[in-house]
Structure 1
Amino acid sequence: MKVTSRFEAWRLVFLVSIASLFLSLLFTYLLSPLGLTKEALVPATIVPLVVAPSVSYVVANMMLRLNALNQRLEYLVQFDPMTGLLNRASFFDRFEVSRHTGSILICDLDHFKTINDTYGHRAGDAVLRQIADILQKQVGTDGIAARFGGEEFVVFHPAKPAEAARGCAEAIRSAVAAHVTVFEDKRIHCTISIGLSALDPQTRLDDALEASDRALYQAKKSGRNKVVQATGTGVPDRRNSDLEPEMQQAATKTS
């Protein structure tokens, strides 16, 4: 039996008290040679009405507290406690339910370490929470948003092609750029870079995430505060992909 509210707790106290009174009277009647005499009726009534409510009240509150702890544990298993977004493990669980086509966005705050170093980690936490709120608002109920760790967030748009998802990514980018986090007497601006890739039934999630991550890398390298879309689906061509742009051009000329 679960106790999930104060009403259910008091109902348990009432039911236990009535049941205890009934059982006390029944056993007194069955075990007493003279039955329910006046002398036997008084203790048979008073004892359960004194003991049962107090004991059942303590038990009901323990059950109520246990239910609250279980709910909190279930929440912590699924959600990031700071931002309220899904955590990494829950993102993959939700993806398994809603796969296999859509778009993957990897979002990373620009120069977040500088925010922490300049304003302090509490201010950085406030920034993360407010950016997560923006992200969830822009994604809505159709998409899945998660915090993967640090200042990195991942979004999955089921059944949404990359071009449509790019519009969502641009909305996230512009909303973050326009937002000001007010923490104590500080006004903190930040921007976000986003890598985007398409996902189809022939593409593994890990490959789509890697493609988005490489697109994010290009967004960072080319100036930040922008959205870069991976070409095609899956992992882009890895040849020279980790080289600096100038080295890539040199490699292309010599090939």
Structure 2
Amino acid sequence: MRFYKSETSFFILIVFLGGVGIMLYRVQTALGMLTPLSMGPDIAMLVDYVAQANGFALLFLAAALLSGIFLIYPLIRIQAQDHGKLQQMTQILSARSETLAQAALTDGLTGMQNRRYFDEALKEYLVQFGRIDKPVGLMILDLDHFKSVNDTYGHDMGDAVLREVAHCLKDYTRYHDVVARLGGEEFAIVVSNMEKEYLAKLAERIRKAVSEIALTVDDVPIKVTTSIGVAEWDRQESWQDFYRRADQLLYQAKNMGRNRVCT
């Protein structure tokens, strides 16, 4: 049985009261052993008065102990249990809130970060890496002719393709890069502290890896390709302008025939 602090304090108080009662009882017993022949009249009256006072004190202590045990302690126990239940409920709600907050920033289909997270992360990356004068790169990816996958093989297969692409992007990025699904078949990657030359090479590796994704339906392979727009922050533009520039490069890659990287 678990005791709360209030209950422990109550038991300590009961022990002290019991100790005082025992001491008073011993005093009264010792006074009772005295005889009138061994005391003068004044001392005898004083002893009698002390004995009566001790008797009342013992009755008071007994009443205090009984009321404490049968009246006060049950109330303390109920309040302590309620407090424990409230603490447990608070912990459960706090954990649930964290879970919901995480869910609000995560794409349910792929497990990647979502658009809301991406927007906040891009703003923060530009602020922090701008302070230390380090480059920030941005890739915007869009799967080519993805609608035909859904129309031909169904949305379940389309979802499988999106999950495979998400897995591929995570494999080819670092732990501190931001990889997000912006919506539909569009993805984005924020790459920090990487020069433009290597950024373009990484984008090309990702494009190639996506094109090599192996999915089949009834032994028929599904071909998936992506177009990628790659931009490096010029340290002057806002995060919105930076995003629009990368997005324009994506559409340029689309217009140039798809399945390519445009920087």
State the TM-score, normalized to the length of structure 1: 0.68
Residue type at the aligned position of 1:96: K
Q: Which amino acid counterpart does residue 214 of structure 1 have in structure 2?
A: Q
Matched, 1:22 2:12: no
Verify the 8 A CA contact 1:24 1:48 in the aligned structure 2. Answer: no
Match of 2:250 in 1: 216
Matched, 1:149 2:135: no
**Partners of 1:77 and 1:27 in 2: how far apart?**
51
Gaps of 5+ in 2: 18-58
Please state if 1:80 is matched with 2:107.
yes
Structure-2 separation of matches of 1:63 and 1:188: 49
The CA RMSD measured in Å over matched residues stands at 3.5
Contact 1:102-1:162 within 8 A present in 2 as well: no
Larger-gyration structure (1/2): 2
Where do 4+ consecutive residues of structure 1 move more than 3 Å? 23-30, 35-61, 181-189
Distance in 1 of aligned mates of 2:60 and 2:219: 81
Question: TM-score scaled to structure 2, two decimals?
Answer: 0.66
2:121 aligns to what SS in structure 1? helix
Whether the 8 Å CA contact 2:227–2:259 is kept in 1: the answer is yes
Matched residue, 1:248: none
Residue by residue over 1:39-87, the C-alpha shift from the partner in whole angstroms, topping out at 9 and shown as x without a partner, is: 5676479847975786456434422320221111221343323323222
Q: Does 1:228 align with 2:262?
A: yes
Q: Does 1:120 align with 2:154?
A: yes
| Change in CA separation of 1:66 and 1:159 when aligned onto 2, cut-off 3 Å | same
Cα distance in structure 1, aligned partners of 2:71 and 2:5:
13
Query: Compared with structure 1, are the counterparts of its residues 115 and 48 closer, same or farther at alpha carbon in structure 2 (3 Å cutoff)?
Result: farther
Structure 2 Cα separation of the partners of residues 36 and 183 of structure 1: 84
- 212-221 vs 18-27, which moves further: 18-27
Distance 1:143 1:159 in 2: 10
Gaps of at least 5 residues in structure 1 are 1-12, 230-255
2:90 corresponds to: 63
Map 1:109-188; keep pairs closer than 5 Å: 109-181=143-215, 188=222
What SS does the corresponding residue of 2:111 show, helix, strand or coil?
coil
- % identical equivalent positions: 31
Equivalent positions of 1:87-126 (< 5 A) are: 87-99=114-126, 100=130, 101-126=135-160
Q: How many residues align?
A: 214
Partner residue of 2:239?
Answer: 205
Q: Cα offset for 1:194?
A: 0.6
Alpha-carbon distance in structure 1 between the residues aligned to 2:10 and 2:218: 62
Mapped contact 1:21–1:44 kept (Cα < 8 A) = no
Higher helix proportion (structure 1 or 2): 2
